[in-house]
Amino acid sequence: MPDENKPAKVEDTVNRRQFFTKLGLGSLGIAAAGTAAFAYQFLEPNVLYEPSPVVNAGSPDRYPPDSVTLDVNSGIYVIHSQEGYFSLSAVCTHLGCLTAWKPELGIIACPCHGSKFKQNGEKIEGPAPKPLPWKRIWLNNDGDLLVDRSTDVPALQRDSFVRV
């Protein structure tokens, strides 16, 4: 019959001590790994890589005379008018919806709140506060049309068309 007043065996005490030592070291290891992960996230540059604002709209031959072509992915129109090629933003100046060309009406219309624009971007009606901005367009050395979505053409220069 074991004596309850007798001290525990030395081997049991050491095993318990080793267990708690390992448990403590394990906890410290997990805490250190978590700290390192957060430190790495904190020190890593938080940069967003955006696509280039310059869009290659391809050969002018793609655009028949008197056509308005919407590039949904780039949010621009390439317009081949009698004066030449020009480009408009397809993003409505009201709340940013993507507009659509309505060939049967000869207008650009916004599906969200009904703004309407002429083929040259001028507002006809609706809540849009401004016309659709013209975007800078030019021919590169390969003969492709390039459109810079980040550069608006000032209103006074809107007679500068690309002619091929």
Site map 33..72 versus ligand FES, x via CB under 6 A = ----------------------------------------
Contacts of 98 (CB under 8 A, 6+ apart): 72, 75, 90, 91, 92
**Which residue of 16, 62, 113, 118 would you call a contact of ligand FES, by CB under 6 A?**
113
Site map 66..105 versus ligand FES, x via CB under 6 A = --------------------------x-xx-x--------
Q: What is the dihedral of CA 37, 40, 45, 50, to 10 degrees?
A: -30
Task: Specify the residue, 97 or 146, whose C-beta has the smaller distance to ligand FES.
Answer: 97
Helices (H) and strands (E) in the chain, counts: 1, 10
Kindly report the CA angle at 145 between 139 and 149, in degrees rounded to 5? 110
Residues that bind ligand FES (CB under 6 A): 92, 94-95, 97, 110, 112-115, 126-128
